[in-house]
Homo-oligomer: A and B are copies of this chain.
Amino acid sequence: MKETGEHVQVDFRTEPSRYKHWRLELDGRVATLRMDVREDGGLQPGYELKLNSYDLGVDIELYDAVQRLRFEHPEVGAVVLTSAKERVFCAGANIRMLGRSSHAWKVNFCKFTNETRNAIEEASAESGQSWLCAVNGPCAGGGYELALACQHIVMADDGNTSVALPEVPLLAVLPGTGGLTRLIDKRKVRRDRADYFCTLEEGVKGKRAVEWNLVDEVVPRTKLEETARRRASELAARSDRPADARGVALPPLERRVDGDRVAYRWVTCAIERGRGVAEITVAAPDAGPPPDPAGVQAQGAAFWPLAVARELDDLILHLRANEEAIGLWVLKTSGSADLVEAYDRLLDQHAGHWLVREVRLYLRRTLKRLDVTSRSLFALIEPGSCFAGTLLELALAADRSYMLAGTREGESAPPATLRLTAVNFGAYPMPNGLSRLASRFLAEPGRVDDLKGRLGQDLDAAAAAEAGLVTFTPDDIEWGDEVRIALEALTGMEASLRFGGPETLETKIFARLSAWQNWIFQRPNAVGAKGALQVYGTGQRAEFDPRRV
C-alpha cells in the first residue's frame, strides 16, 4: 500500500454472507441496501473506518451487491441506498487510509469506485433497477458522490443532515469519484453555487439543498424511510423487470493461481515479470449455445458469455490492483468462431430478455473496464485465435493489433481470420457512447456501414487490413522481430488516445477528473509532509503553498 509497492493482495471476490459493511434487505420489488461499515473491518491495517467512511474493501462489497441485485434478483425494480448508522450517512473515503496509501493505490481505488458508481447509474438507466438514496445523516465527500450516482436523492430535513463536498477545504484534493462532473453535468447545479458549495466544510442542508438541486427533496426525519419507500415503489412500478422470474445465482468464481499463471475456466493469464507483460487468453465456448432464454437461465452462471464476463472482470481488477508493474497486457483468444457467432446470435436475438440484457450489459461494463485501464493493450491475432464477435471487441479495445499474415512454417493451423457479428455494431458501447468500430472510424463513419456487408465473413490478414480492422499484418518472417520490438518499446500512452469523438459523463469523469486526481494526489498541499491529507486528524495544521500553475 505504501510506495514500497507492498500491500495486501486484494481479492475482489465476495458474497453477501461474507459482507462486513452492508446489509441487503429484499422485500418484493424494492431492495434496501444499508451501509453499516465496521470500524475495525478495514482491508489493510492502520486505520479505523469511522463514521461509515469506506476503503476499497467496503467498495468491493458494494460492487458485489450491485452485481447480485441485477442477476440474482430480477424481481427488484428499485434499490434504496441508505445508512444503518444512527447519526451519519457516510463520511466518504477514509482519510487515514488515503493518507497512508501510495499514489497508485489512491488512483486505482478511485477508478474502481467510479466504475461501481457508473454501474449503479447504468442499472437505473438500462436495467430497470432504479437506485435512490435516502440521506439520513451527514453525507460528505465520497458519501455524497454515492448519492449523486442515484437517480433520486431524498434527504432528512433536520439539524444534523447535510450534503457536502469538503475535499478542497479539508484536504486540498478534489472530489475523486465523479462529484464535480455529476454536480454540474448531471444535476446541472449552477456553476457559482457549485463553486461555493465545494468550499463549505459543513455542506448545505434543508431547502437550500433542494433549491440548488443538490438533492431532489427534503422531508422530516420521521418521514424519510416512508418517503424513500414510496418513491422506490413508484420507480419499481415502472420497471420492465419480471416480478416472477428466477434469478441466476453467482457462485464463487474459481480461480487457480500457480506462480505467475492465473487460470479460470475460460480466461487464463500468464505474467512475464521480466518484460512486464501479461498475456491474457480468452477461450471460445466448446459447445453451442442453449436454444433460448430459458436455456440461458438453466445454464445460469455457466452460460459462456456470463462466465467470460465474470472471469475477465475479476482478472482485470486483479491485475490492476495487484500487478502495478505489469504495464502491457497482450490480448489473445482461441477456439471456434462459429460457436462465438452462435452465442452472439442468441445475445442479439433476445436482447430484450431481462437475463440476456444483463449479460450484455455486464460484457459492456467489463469491456469498458479495459477502455479505462492505464495499461498498454496489444492484441495478437495468430493462427488458432478466435477474434469473432464478442471476442473481436478485445482486439478493437486494444491500442493496437498485430495479425499474422498467412501460416507459420512447420505449423498446420490455418491462417488467422477475424469475424464480425451483429454485436460489434452497438451492443458494447465504449464510455464515449460509440461502438468500438465507430470510435475506430471517426474519420470515415461510412466504413462502419460498409462493414455490415461483411458480417459473418472470415477476414484474413489482407482483408482485415483492407477493412481497417487491424494495425499491422506481418508475415511469419517479420512477426518475431516486429512483435518483440513492439513489446519492448516504451509505451505509456495509457488511455490518452482511446476516447476520440463525443464526450459523456463517463469520459469526463475518467479522462478529466481522473487526470485531475492524478495531479491533485501528487500536490504537496495534499501529500507533502505537512499536506492536508497527511496531517488530517492529527490536530496539526496543514501548510499550504499558495502558488498556482
Contacts and interface: CB of A to CB of B under 8 A. Distances in A.
B190 A441 contact: yes
A548 interface: yes
Given A104-B548, A546-B325, A194 B516 contact: no
A34 interface: no
Interface residues of A, number: 73
B491 A168 contact: yes
A174 interface: yes
A493 B400 contact: no
Interface in A442-484: 442-443, 468, 470-472
A253 interface: no
Nearest to A108: B549
Given A191-B439, A191-B497, A519-B522, A104 B547 contact: yes
B544 A191 contact: no
Given A107-B549, A188-B442, A547-B324, A172 B471 contact: no
A180 interface: yes
Q: Is the interface of A mostly helix, strand, loop or mixed?
A: loop
A501 interface: yes
Contact of A548 (B180, B189, B494): B494
Given A399-B191, A490-B168, A547 B498 contact: no
B192 A490 contact: no
A172 B324 contact: no
A184 B502 CA distance: 12
Interface string A490-527: 11111011101111000010011001101100100100
A194 B104 contact: no
Interface string A190-205: 1111111011000000
B522 A104 contact: no
Contact of A497 (B194, B441, B472, B491): B194
Contacts of A111: 549
Interface in A248-267: none
B490 A544 contact: yes
Interface in A212-226: 213
Given A327-B548, A522-B519, A497 B195 contact: yes
Given A199-B493, A500-B185, A512-B515, A548 B192 contact: no
Contacts of A494: 548
B497 A184 contact: yes
> Nearest 4 pairs between A and B by C-beta?
A188-B443, A515-B515, A518-B519, A503-B503
Interface of A: 5, 103-104, 107-108, 111, 168-169, 172, 174, 180, 183-185, 187-196, 198-199, 213, 276, 324-325, 327, 374-375, 398-401, 439-443, 468, 470-472, 489-494, 496-498, 500-503, 508, 511-512, 515-516, 518-519, 522, 525, 544, 546-549
24 contacts: A107-B549, A168-B492, A168-B493, A185-B442, A185-B501, A188-B443, A191-B399, A192-B400, A192-B401, A192-B470, A194-B497, A195-B493, A196-B400, A196-B471, A199-B491, A324-B547, A325-B546, A325-B547, A327-B548, A375-B548, A494-B548, A502-B503, A508-B511, A515-B516
